[in-house]
Amino acid sequence: MDEAGQADRAEQGDRPLRVARIQDVAKLAEVSTATVSRALASPERVSPEARARVFEAIAKTGYVPNPAARTLRSQKTYMVLVVLPDLANTFFSRILRGIEETLFEAGYGMIIGDLDGSPEKEAHFSAFTGAGRVDGAILLNGHLFGQRRDGSGQAARLSIPLVALCEAIPGADIPQIEIDNREAARRMTEHLASLGHSRIAYLSGPPENVLERERFKGYQDGLEAAGIAFDPSLVIPGDFTIGSGVTAGQDLVARAKRPTAVFCTSDEMAIGLMRTLLSAGIRVPEDMSVAGFDDIEFAAVAEPALTTIHQPRRELGQAAASALIDLLQGRPSPRSIRLDTELVIRDSVAPLR
Amino acid sequence: MDEAGQADRAEQGDRPLRVARIQDVAKLAEVSTATVSRALASPERVSPEARARVFEAIAKTGYVPNPAARTLRSQKTYMVLVVLPDLANTFFSRILRGIEETLFEAGYGMIIGDLDGSPEKEAHFSAFTGAGRVDGAILLNGHLFGQRRDGSGQAARLSIPLVALCEAIPGADIPQIEIDNREAARRMTEHLASLGHSRIAYLSGPPENVLERERFKGYQDGLEAAGIAFDPSLVIPGDFTIGSGVTAGQDLVARAKRPTAVFCTSDEMAIGLMRTLLSAGIRVPEDMSVAGFDDIEFAAVAEPALTTIHQPRRELGQAAASALIDLLQGRPSPRSIRLDTELVIRDSVAPLR
DNA sequence: CACCCCCATGTAAACGATTACATAAACTTT
DNA sequence: AAAGTTTATGTAATCGTTTACATGGGGGTG
């Protein structure tokens, strides 16, 4: 105290009245604020002695740089927005973890934008990127936002680096991280066919969804490869949720001529479907085989354990985050990545009797 | 162009070279920046004419306030941090939605801090709150952070409003939003006892967890109320995950003298447990009843459908967010809230034969 | 009519960093 | 030893708002 002189807003007694600023550190270390800033941003550009004094002063004052000031000046937020269609969907949580991990290691924070099917929210998150609250964004929702519906000149805003994850965005010139949905669906369909099934139903996702469209193509590819004619009556509408699986099950139960196998384009639907079948006395896989897609945690402990397509969710998240970080740091980023899936054979699919 | 004079950084041709600043709006509307700022923050304090001109200018320029500058000056970020132990856990996703919804409506963004069991990350998120990157935080992890492990004077930082959700933080003087875990566990235990079960096992959560401790007390309360002696050998260690349910199942299968009912303190464990029992030929509920806790989406479609305790997850999230917003906006906030749970009876529990 | 008060607005000082530019010292190179 | 180069540091402008304070005009009141 007797040394600091008139440091009127510095610490007093014990606890700082106010958070320390770079000025306080500079004064204590007897250097300029520029040197403190440099000591933090690029230590090698500061002499060892000064650096030591600076770090000592930082420790003593408990200084933490003010992010707002930093952002204002440097135009960097060290924040990334992750936009996804449905936060309550199990499928995304592991992906989010993969993203978060990787961002975290690189010093970035993650802001979540849960669209929840509302276009109003979409506009909101679009504004987020436009206003410079984040340095970049990872889009899991299958399309770019920001293109105003009214088409007015409402400004195409400051554009920031974007990465598409899982749902490819056709025509967008950004890195796209995904799996080969078509190929995976083909593989599963062929797998079912190879076990003797020929009446293979397809429980779909929402028709406008990109994943759905790819998987549907794969289903058709698979039928074709197996020499099975496509039967539109075996395509059941769904939307990836447990509930739509339950509904689809009721549809099947009511049919006179049932398929012998059902390929569901999400595990959630498969689990909901099996539930309805079992309640109606239809045994899985004895009476009907059921296959899923995603390999969520519950797939392995479903009853019966679900045969499905494994997606490397954590790795997908990590890859997307890495690609974005590359972009943010001016490094060249891979245009597109396709991660491998795996056909996981469990108990819900059996050879045709 | 011929009107603006030397507006060298204003729009040119069609698209703005640079995002519009408050200055640009002020110039166009022929008012000062202060008026623009006021027109946005408190429209009633600006004359209708000026207001109209300002809004017109905002529309014309596509102006969006710079959040960093705003934060720097006003010390408000309009961001909230949500700290949770495990983002990949299904239980949290609906809660997050409730939180996000409510924050969104109030104009706040949500930053997720997934601890993932790492103390290193905890320190990181603590720094988040300390550095003023967020206005407040919702803690789902059951304890406050910021109290340095080394006990050094490392500064108790700027403290921001906090709310505890789900896991109460003993001794913390902040709003706590939770359910009555003890009461709910008691109710389930009594329910099992009322069906004739007296050998009721308890599949626990992690021993240090607050929820676990409360539920365990409730289990004991329930036994006592039913006049059943507590048997430590019926307490099986778990950690809320599917995997620990599977492991617990193996333990039970190996036992000579099995319980007739198992109360699992999470649905995930219950589902994992049932899986193992069924694989080993132990029927649920005929040979053993299984009860869960949480009522996650999969509980209703498990095979058999799971009898469990329903937690109003969305409402929990909403309540926590509301409490935090009250705090942030200087309104009095309820000290603590306990939301009601519900005993959901499905098929996994049956009377003792 | 003089006084006071209120209202709408403007002026300019923060907020707390980063960084372009300037400067001085130390080291190379010829 | 002079000139040029590199290195370490400091000075001060800048990022784009919000807001305390100042100002001037209009309307009430005594």
Backbone angles phi, psi at A308, to 5 degrees: -155, 180
Which CATH number is A335's domain given? 3.40.50.2300
Query: Is A185 found in the same domain as A169?
Result: no
Q: How far is the CA of A69 from the C1' of D15 (A)?
A: 8
CA B199 to chain centre: 34
Residue B67: which of A65, A93, A133 has the nearest Cβ? Answer: A133
Query: Is A97 found in the same domain as A51?
Result: no
Q: How far is the CA of A48 from the C1' of D4 (A)?
A: 26
Bond from prior residue into A304 cis (ω within 30 degrees of 0): yes
> Which residues have a Cβ under 8 Å from the Cβ of A49 and sit 6 or more positions away?
none
Q: A70 lies in a domain?
A: no
Q: Which residues of A touch B303 (CB under 8 A)?
A: 274-275, 278, 302-303
Q: B197 lies in a domain?
A: yes
Least reliable range by pLDDT among A82-86, A95-99, B113-117, B310-314: B113-117
Query: Is A205 found in the same domain as A306?
Result: yes
What distance in Å separates the CA atoms of residue A317 and residue A23, rounded to the nearest whole number?
Answer: 40
Q: Which of B45, B65, B85 is the last residue of a domain?
A: B65
DSSP string, A259-277: -SEEEESSHHHHHHHHHHH
Residue B160 has pLDDT above 70, yes or no: yes
What distance in Å separates the CA atoms of residue B20 and residue B66, rounded to the nearest whole number?
Answer: 9
Q: What is the pLDDT of residue A121?
A: 81
Query: Is A163 found in the same domain as A215?
Result: no
State the total domains in chain A: 3
Q: Which residues of A touch B88 (CB under 8 A)?
A: 93-94, 96-97
Average pLDDT, chain A: 89
Q: Which residues of B touch A88 (CB under 8 A)?
A: 93-94, 96-97, 297
Residue A11 has pLDDT above 50, yes or no: no
Closest nucleotide to A70 by C1' from CA: C17
Angle value at C-alpha A298, between A189 and A270, nearest 5 degrees: 40
Query: Is A299 found in the same domain as A185?
Result: yes
Query: What percentage of chain A carries pLDDT values higher than 70?
Result: 91
Q: A218 lies in a domain?
A: yes
Q: What is the pLDDT of residue B17?
A: 53
Query: What percentage of chain B carries pLDDT values higher than 90?
Result: 73
SS (H, E, C) B261-294: EEEECCHHHHHHHHHHHHHCCCCCCCCCEEECCE
What band does B226 get if pLDDT is binned at 50, 70 and 90? very high
- Its domain, for residue A116, covers 78-179+314-339
Torsion angle of alpha carbons A176, A181, A182, A187, nearest 10°?
A: 140
Question: Which residues in 33-62 of chain A line strand C, with CB less than 7 A from it?
Answer: 33-34, 36-38, 40-41
Q: Give the closest-approach CA distance of B300 to chain A in angstroms.
A: 9
Q: B207 lies in a domain?
A: yes
Q: What is the pLDDT of residue B96?
A: 92
Query: Is A147 found in the same domain as A90?
Result: yes
Provide the token pair at B152: 């050094």
Residue A165 has pLDDT above 90, yes or no: yes
**Nucleotides in chain D with any atom closer than 7 Å to protein CB:** 7-12, 14-20
pLDDT tens-digit readout, A121-133: 888 888 778 888 9
Provide the token pair at B271: 């589902």
Query: Is B297 found in the same domain as B324?
Result: no
Q: Which of A65, A98, A114 is the last residue of a domain?
A: A65
Query: Is B160 found in the same domain as B95?
Result: yes
Backbone angles phi, psi at A38, to 5 degrees: -70, -40
| Contacts for B323-328: CB closer than 8 Å, 24+ residues apart | B323/B163, B323/B175, B323/B177, B324/B80, B324/B136, B324/B137, B324/B138, B324/B161, B324/B162, B324/B163, B324/B175, B325/B102, B325/B103, B325/B106, B325/B108, B327/B136, B327/B161, B327/B163, B327/B175, B328/B108, B328/B135, B328/B136, B328/B161
Residue B9, chain A, CB below 8 Å: the answer is no
User: Which is it for strands B200-203 and A235-236: parallel, antiparallel or unpaired?
Assistant: unpaired
pLDDT tens-digit readout, A186-204: 999 999 999 999 999 999 9
Backbone angles phi, psi at B65, to 5 degrees: -60, 145
Query: Is A97 found in the same domain as A12?
Result: no
Cβ–Cβ gap B111/A114 under 8 Å:
no
Q: What is the pLDDT of residue B148?
A: 38
Count Cβ atoms within 10 A of the Cβ of residue B329 and give its class: 0-12 exposed, 13-18 middle, 19 or more buried.
exposed
Neighbouring CB atoms inside 10 A of B198's CB total 16
